[in-house]
Amino acid sequence: MTPFVAPLDDILFSLHHVARAPLIAAWDHDFAAEIGKHFAAFAEGEIAPIDEIGDQEGCRLENGRVRLPSGCKEMYTAYCEQGWPGLTAPGEFGGQAQDALILAMTSEIFSGANHSMQMVTGLVPGAIRTLLNFGTDAQKDRFLPSLASGETIATMCLTEPSAGSDLSRITCRAVPDGAQWQISGEKIFISGGDQDISDEILHLVLARTSDNGVKGLSLFLCPSTKTDGTRNAVKVTRIEEKMGLHASPTCQMLFDGAEAELIGEEGRGLAAMFTMMNHARGDVALQGVAHAARAYQIAAAYAVDRVQGRLSDGSPARLDQHADVRRILDAMDRYALFGRAMTHMAFVAMERGDQGALVEFLTPLIKVFCTEAGMRSAELGIQVLGGYGFLREYRIEQTYRDARITAIYEGANGIHKRMLATRMAQGPSSDAFEQMLIDEGIETNALAQWQCIRAETANHTDPAEMAHRFIQASIDAMQAVVHKRMSDCVEAHPDPDRIRRVLALDPEPWRGM
C-alpha cells in the first residue's frame, strides 16, 4: 500500500500561480501554505489511516440508527477540536471566516485521504452559505454555531424514488403547523442521512408546499432533534449497498410529520437549494481531482519500484522507464494538474464577485471534466499495476470504485452537458467564456474552433443534440488556457521538469463518456 501524501505543493502552485489567487485581495500565500501544511498533516496522520478500515467494514444499521466504521468518531472528534468544521463560518458564529480558495485546498486533501468521510462532513460549508444567504437572524443564531463547532453535520435531501434530476416530480410535502411546518415523505440517496459521529444532524429538505410544479417547492431546515428536545420524526429505513464509498452511509429516509421550519421564501426552494448544490458541484470536481492525483501517486510509486524487462543496454528496467508506461503516468498526472487548475480558476472567478456569468459556464465544465478525469486516471493506474491493480493490496481498485459516483451525483454529467448546450450556448455565460479565451490569448485556431461549434450549437434546431460536442470543444479550449498559463509559470513549481514533461505531451482532444 502506498501511504497517502497530500499534494500540497501542486495545490499551492495551482492556486497561486496558475489560477492567480493574488487577484483576490484577501489572498495570503504564506497563510494558505500554513493552513495547508496543518491540514495535510492531519489528513495523512488521522484521516487517511481509517480509509481502508472504512472500506472493509462499511456502515451498519442498528435499531434504526447508523453506525460508522471503527475510528470514524475518534477522527471526527479530533477534526472538530482543531476547528476544521468552521473553516468558512463567520467569526461571530465561532468560525474562521476563510474563503472558497482555502476550502478548495482542504477539501481536495480530505477527499484524497478519505472520500467517504469527506462525503459525511462535506456539506457543512454549503449549509453555512445557504443559511447566510437565506436564513433569518434567528436561524443563523440557532444553527451556525453548532455547524461551525462540528456539533451538527448537514445533509441535503432532494432525491426521491420517482424524482431524481427531475425535481418537478417531488412529492414529499410540507404543511403548516402553527409557527412550524410538518414534512412527510420519502427521500433516497441521502449521504450521511444518519451517523453516530456528530451530536446533531441538520437536514436541508426540498419539499412541496403547493402543486405548482417547481414553483411549489420550498426549502426547509429539519433538525434531528425537535425544539422540545425529543428526536424528530426522521427515520432511516435502509442503508444502500454501494460499489464504493462504503464508510459513507447512503440512506433511504422517511419523514413522518417531521418538525421543520422554512428557510427563504415559500415557493422559492430551488433558489435556496442551488446555493448548496453549486457548492457541492465545485466540491465534486475537486473529488475527481483528488482521485486522479491519488491514482497517479499510487501508480508512480509502484512503477518506480517494479523491475520489469530490460533497457536497450541490457540492464534491468524499472516499469517507469518503459515509454508506454511513462506516457500513461504523464497522462494521469496531466488529468490531475489540469483539472485542479480549471477548478481553481473557477473558484478565483467566484471569489472575485464580478464574474458570475463565467462561473456559471465553468461550473458544469469542471464538474464533467474533473470527475471523468478521476475515473480515467484510476482506470489507467490499474493498467500500470497490471494484475496487482486488480487486487486490493495496493488499493487503487478502491480509488476506481470510489471515483465512479462523482460522474453521477450532483447532476449526472450528461445533464450538465445538456445544460451547457441548451441554456448557455446563446447567452451571457458563453459570452463571458469567449471573452476569457480572447483575453487569455489562446492560439487562433483553438479559439476559432470553439467559436464555430458554439455557433453551430446555438443555431441548432435541438441544441441538446450538440451537447457532447459543445462541452468537448469547451473543455479543449479551457485546457488550452491552462496549458498557456502553466507554461508561463512552470519555474514556480518545486519540480519544473515534471511540469514540462506533462506540458510536452501531445495535446489529445478530450472525448469523455
Active site residues: 410
Amino acid identity of 28? D
What are the beta bridge partners of residue 175?
182
Residue 393 in 3-state DSSP? coil
184 in helix, strand or coil?
A: strand
- In order of 65, 160, 451, the CA distances from 239 in angstroms are 10, 15, 47
By DSSP bridging, strand 217-223 and strand 200-208 are antiparallel
Contact partners, residue 243, CB within 8 Å, separation at least 6: 401, 404, 405
- The 8-class DSSP code of residue 275 comes to H
Looking at residue 189, its amino acid is F
Cβ neighbourhood burial of 253 (10 Å; 0-12, 13-18, 19+): buried
Closest-CA residue to 252 (of 182, 171, 173, 161): 161
Query: How many Cβ atoms are within 10 Å of 362's Cβ, its own excluded?
Result: 26
The span from the CA of 503 to the CA of 507, in Å, is 9
CB 436 within 8 A of CB 481: yes
C-alpha cell read off for 43:
489528513
Partnered with residue 183 across adjacent β-strands are: 174, 258
Beta strands in 264-409 (DSSP E): 307-310, 316-318
Of the chain, the end-to-end C-alpha distance in Å amounts to 30
Contact between 93 and 129 under an 8 Å Cβ cutoff? The reply is no
In the 8-state DSSP scheme, what is residue 211?
S
- Cβ distance 200 to 225 under 8 Å? yes
